[in-house]
Amino acid sequence: MRATPIEYRTRGEWYDGEIRRFVRIDNENPPPKHGVLFVGSSIFREWREVRDFRADCRPIEPALNRAFGGSITEDQLHVAEQIVFPHDPAVLVYYCGSNDLNLGVHPAQIRDNFLRFQSICAKRCPSLRTTLFVSIMRAPQKEPVWDELDAANALIREACEEVSDGSVRFIDVNPSLYSDDVPRYELYREDGLHFHPGAYDVFVPTIVDAARHAWEEVGGGVDTGTSKEDEAAWDPMLPPGL
Protein backbone atom coordinates (compact mmCIF):
# COMPACT_ATOMS: atom_id res chain seq x y z
CA MET A 1 0.00 0.00 0.00
CA ARG A 2 1.36 3.38 -0.99
CA ALA A 3 2.07 5.74 1.86
CA THR A 4 -0.13 8.76 2.35
CA PRO A 5 1.38 11.57 0.24
CA ILE A 6 3.28 14.23 2.10
CA GLU A 7 1.64 17.63 1.78
CA TYR A 8 3.13 21.08 1.93
CA ARG A 9 1.03 24.20 1.75
CA THR A 10 3.15 27.17 0.82
CA ARG A 11 3.91 29.52 3.69
CA GLY A 12 5.18 32.24 1.41
CA GLU A 13 8.65 31.77 2.89
CA TRP A 14 11.93 32.00 1.00
CA TYR A 15 12.59 28.29 1.44
CA ASP A 16 9.27 27.07 0.00
CA GLY A 17 10.75 25.96 -3.32
CA GLU A 18 13.36 23.76 -1.67
CA ILE A 19 10.88 22.15 0.71
CA ARG A 20 8.47 21.48 -2.17
CA ARG A 21 11.28 19.70 -4.03
CA PHE A 22 11.96 17.55 -0.98
CA VAL A 23 8.25 16.71 -0.76
CA ARG A 24 8.03 15.88 -4.46
CA ILE A 25 10.98 13.52 -4.53
CA ASP A 26 9.89 11.80 -1.33
CA ASN A 27 6.39 11.28 -2.73
CA GLU A 28 7.61 10.01 -6.10
CA ASN A 29 10.39 7.77 -4.76
CA PRO A 30 9.92 7.23 -1.01
CA PRO A 31 13.32 6.46 0.53
CA PRO A 32 13.74 3.83 3.27
CA LYS A 33 12.72 4.87 6.75
CA HIS A 34 14.32 4.34 10.17
CA GLY A 35 17.80 5.47 9.18
CA VAL A 36 19.91 8.49 10.05
CA LEU A 37 18.49 11.84 8.97
CA PHE A 38 20.61 15.01 8.76
CA VAL A 39 18.80 18.35 8.98
CA GLY A 40 19.94 21.93 9.33
CA SER A 41 21.38 24.87 7.45
CA SER A 42 23.98 25.54 4.76
CA ILE A 43 26.93 23.68 6.30
CA PHE A 44 24.93 20.45 6.01
CA ARG A 45 23.33 21.41 2.71
CA GLU A 46 26.74 22.07 1.14
CA TRP A 47 27.95 18.75 2.52
CA ARG A 48 25.30 17.22 0.26
CA GLU A 49 26.17 19.46 -2.68
CA VAL A 50 29.97 19.45 -2.82
CA ARG A 51 30.69 15.96 -1.50
CA ASP A 52 29.58 12.37 -1.98
CA PHE A 53 27.40 12.50 1.09
CA ARG A 54 26.47 8.84 1.13
CA ALA A 55 30.11 7.81 0.78
CA ASP A 56 31.03 10.05 3.71
CA CYS A 57 28.34 8.40 5.83
CA ARG A 58 29.15 4.76 5.14
CA PRO A 59 28.45 2.28 6.64
CA ILE A 60 25.27 4.09 7.74
CA GLU A 61 22.41 3.13 5.45
CA PRO A 62 20.07 4.79 4.85
CA ALA A 63 21.53 8.25 5.46
CA LEU A 64 19.43 11.14 4.20
CA ASN A 65 20.20 14.86 4.10
CA ARG A 66 17.31 17.33 4.17
CA ALA A 67 19.20 20.49 5.13
CA PHE A 68 18.39 23.80 3.45
CA GLY A 69 20.68 26.81 3.35
CA GLY A 70 20.03 29.97 5.31
CA SER A 71 17.68 28.27 7.76
CA ILE A 72 17.28 29.27 11.39
CA THR A 73 16.03 27.15 14.26
CA GLU A 74 12.49 28.49 13.91
CA ASP A 75 12.44 27.43 10.25
CA GLN A 76 13.29 23.87 11.25
CA LEU A 77 10.23 23.86 13.49
CA HIS A 78 8.02 25.05 10.65
CA VAL A 79 9.00 22.28 8.23
CA ALA A 80 9.60 19.28 10.51
CA GLU A 81 6.34 17.75 9.32
CA GLN A 82 7.67 17.63 5.75
CA ILE A 83 11.38 16.90 6.17
CA VAL A 84 11.49 14.77 9.33
CA PHE A 85 8.24 13.01 10.21
CA PRO A 86 7.79 11.11 6.90
CA HIS A 87 11.22 9.47 7.31
CA ASP A 88 10.67 8.34 10.92
CA PRO A 89 14.44 8.31 11.54
CA ALA A 90 16.12 6.23 14.22
CA VAL A 91 18.80 8.90 14.60
CA LEU A 92 18.45 12.62 13.89
CA VAL A 93 21.52 14.81 13.34
CA TYR A 94 20.88 18.55 13.70
CA TYR A 95 23.04 21.51 12.69
CA CYS A 96 21.34 24.88 13.01
CA GLY A 97 21.64 28.07 15.05
CA SER A 98 24.51 29.80 13.29
CA ASN A 99 22.19 32.02 11.25
CA ASP A 100 20.11 32.81 14.34
CA LEU A 101 23.14 34.49 15.91
CA ASN A 102 23.53 36.90 12.99
CA LEU A 103 19.90 37.88 13.47
CA GLY A 104 20.39 38.60 17.15
CA VAL A 105 18.46 35.61 18.46
CA HIS A 106 19.32 35.07 22.12
CA PRO A 107 21.36 31.91 22.89
CA ALA A 108 18.64 30.67 25.25
CA GLN A 109 16.08 30.92 22.43
CA ILE A 110 18.32 28.88 20.14
CA ARG A 111 18.50 26.22 22.84
CA ASP A 112 14.76 26.30 23.45
CA ASN A 113 13.95 26.04 19.73
CA PHE A 114 16.22 23.01 19.40
CA LEU A 115 14.71 21.31 22.45
CA ARG A 116 11.22 21.98 21.16
CA PHE A 117 12.20 20.57 17.75
CA GLN A 118 13.65 17.46 19.38
CA SER A 119 10.57 17.00 21.57
CA ILE A 120 8.16 17.34 18.66
CA CYS A 121 10.15 14.91 16.51
CA ALA A 122 10.36 12.39 19.34
CA LYS A 123 6.58 12.46 19.72
CA ARG A 124 5.86 12.18 15.99
CA CYS A 125 8.60 9.69 15.01
CA PRO A 126 8.09 6.35 16.79
CA SER A 127 11.51 5.06 15.69
CA LEU A 128 13.51 8.06 16.91
CA ARG A 129 15.90 7.06 19.67
CA THR A 130 18.75 9.57 19.49
CA THR A 131 19.11 13.21 18.46
CA LEU A 132 22.57 14.69 17.98
CA PHE A 133 23.16 18.43 18.12
CA VAL A 134 26.32 19.36 16.21
CA SER A 135 27.98 22.35 17.84
CA ILE A 136 27.57 25.71 16.14
CA MET A 137 30.88 26.25 14.39
CA ARG A 138 33.13 29.15 15.46
CA ALA A 139 33.84 30.31 11.93
CA PRO A 140 35.90 33.48 11.37
CA GLN A 141 32.82 35.22 9.96
CA LYS A 142 31.12 34.72 13.31
CA GLU A 143 33.80 36.52 15.33
CA PRO A 144 31.49 39.45 16.23
CA VAL A 145 29.12 36.97 17.87
CA TRP A 146 31.59 34.42 19.22
CA ASP A 147 30.54 35.16 22.81
CA GLU A 148 26.89 34.51 22.00
CA LEU A 149 27.86 31.46 19.94
CA ASP A 150 29.83 30.01 22.85
CA ALA A 151 26.93 30.72 25.17
CA ALA A 152 24.47 28.92 22.87
CA ASN A 153 26.74 25.90 22.61
CA ALA A 154 27.23 25.82 26.38
CA LEU A 155 23.49 26.00 27.05
CA ILE A 156 22.73 23.23 24.58
CA ARG A 157 25.55 21.03 25.85
CA GLU A 158 24.21 21.45 29.39
CA ALA A 159 20.67 20.63 28.27
CA CYS A 160 21.87 17.49 26.46
CA GLU A 161 23.88 16.32 29.46
CA GLU A 162 20.78 16.65 31.62
CA VAL A 163 18.99 14.00 29.54
CA SER A 164 19.89 10.94 31.58
CA ASP A 165 19.06 8.30 28.97
CA GLY A 166 21.49 9.73 26.40
CA SER A 167 18.80 10.26 23.78
CA VAL A 168 19.94 13.85 23.18
CA ARG A 169 23.67 14.42 22.70
CA PHE A 170 25.99 17.32 21.99
CA ILE A 171 28.74 16.73 19.41
CA ASP A 172 31.56 19.30 19.52
CA VAL A 173 33.40 19.74 16.22
CA ASN A 174 35.05 23.05 17.09
CA PRO A 175 38.33 21.57 18.39
CA SER A 176 39.03 20.21 14.90
CA LEU A 177 38.54 23.67 13.37
CA TYR A 178 41.20 25.34 15.53
CA SER A 179 44.95 25.10 15.95
CA ASP A 180 46.57 26.67 19.03
CA ASP A 181 43.31 28.55 19.71
CA VAL A 182 43.40 30.12 16.23
CA PRO A 183 40.83 29.30 13.53
CA ARG A 184 42.18 27.19 10.70
CA TYR A 185 41.49 29.87 8.10
CA GLU A 186 42.63 27.62 5.24
CA LEU A 187 39.51 25.51 5.70
CA TYR A 188 37.16 28.35 4.77
CA ARG A 189 36.14 29.99 1.55
CA GLU A 190 36.43 33.74 1.09
CA ASP A 191 33.32 34.42 3.16
CA GLY A 192 34.98 32.98 6.26
CA LEU A 193 31.90 30.86 6.92
CA HIS A 194 31.49 28.11 4.34
CA PHE A 195 34.05 25.42 3.76
CA HIS A 196 36.19 24.25 0.89
CA PRO A 197 35.07 20.72 -0.11
CA GLY A 198 38.21 19.15 1.34
CA ALA A 199 37.64 20.82 4.70
CA TYR A 200 34.79 18.41 5.37
CA ASP A 201 37.43 15.73 5.86
CA VAL A 202 38.45 17.60 9.02
CA PHE A 203 35.16 17.55 10.94
CA VAL A 204 32.85 15.11 9.16
CA PRO A 205 34.47 12.04 10.82
CA THR A 206 33.51 13.38 14.25
CA ILE A 207 29.89 13.75 13.16
CA VAL A 208 29.69 10.44 11.32
CA ASP A 209 31.36 8.52 14.14
CA ALA A 210 28.81 9.88 16.61
CA ALA A 211 25.93 9.15 14.23
CA ARG A 212 27.21 5.64 13.51
CA HIS A 213 27.59 4.91 17.21
CA ALA A 214 24.03 6.05 17.89
CA TRP A 215 22.75 4.14 14.85
CA GLU A 216 24.43 0.91 15.96
CA GLU A 217 23.00 1.32 19.45
CA VAL A 218 19.49 1.14 18.00
CA GLY A 219 20.22 -1.83 15.75
CA GLY A 220 21.71 -0.09 12.75
CA GLY A 221 22.97 -2.39 10.06
CA VAL A 222 20.16 -4.89 10.56
CA ASP A 223 18.33 -5.74 7.34
CA THR A 224 15.05 -3.82 7.38
CA GLY A 225 13.76 -5.33 4.15
CA THR A 226 14.54 -2.28 2.03
CA SER A 227 16.66 -2.36 -1.09
CA LYS A 228 18.65 0.06 -3.21
CA GLU A 229 15.68 0.23 -5.55
CA ASP A 230 13.63 1.66 -2.71
CA GLU A 231 15.92 4.66 -2.33
CA ALA A 232 15.05 8.04 -3.79
CA ALA A 233 16.10 8.29 -7.41
CA TRP A 234 18.40 11.03 -8.56
CA ASP A 235 16.44 14.16 -9.37
CA PRO A 236 17.89 16.93 -11.56
CA MET A 237 15.89 19.52 -9.60
CA LEU A 238 17.74 18.67 -6.40
CA PRO A 239 21.37 19.21 -5.39
CA PRO A 240 23.81 16.28 -5.81
CA GLY A 241 23.47 13.54 -3.27
CA LEU A 242 19.67 13.41 -3.44
CATH of the domain at 166: 3.40.50.1110
Residue 68 lies inside a defined structural domain of this protein: yes
* CB within 8 Å of 172: residues ≥ 6 apart: 135, 153, 157, 206
Nearest-5° Cα angle at 210, 205 to 212: 90
Overall average pLDDT of the 223-229 stretch: 40
Residue 80 lies inside a defined structural domain of this protein: yes
pLDDT digits (tens, 9 = 90+) for 80-121: 999 999 999 999 999 999 999 999 999 999 999 999 999 999
Lowest-pLDDT choice from 12-21, 78-87, 120-129: 12-21
Residue 231 lies inside a defined structural domain of this protein: no
Model pLDDT, residue 231:
39
Confidence of residue 1 (pLDDT cuts 50, 70, 90): very low
DSSP code at position 191: T
Model pLDDT, residue 237:
41
**Percentage, residues of the chain above pLDDT 70:** 86
Model pLDDT, residue 221:
55
User: In angstroms, rounded to a whole number, what is the distance separating the alpha carbons of residues 38 and 109?
Assistant: 21
Model pLDDT, residue 168:
98
Model pLDDT, residue 17:
87
- Does the pLDDT value for residue 153 go beyond 90? yes
Residue 6 lies inside a defined structural domain of this protein: no
Model pLDDT, residue 144:
97
Domain range enclosing 211? 31-220
**Number of folded domains that form the chain:** 1
Residue 191 lies inside a defined structural domain of this protein: yes
Task: Name the CA radius of gyration of the chain, rounded.
Answer: 17
Evaluate whether 31 touches 62 at the Cβ level (below 8 Å): yes
Confidence of residue 13 (pLDDT cuts 50, 70, 90): confident
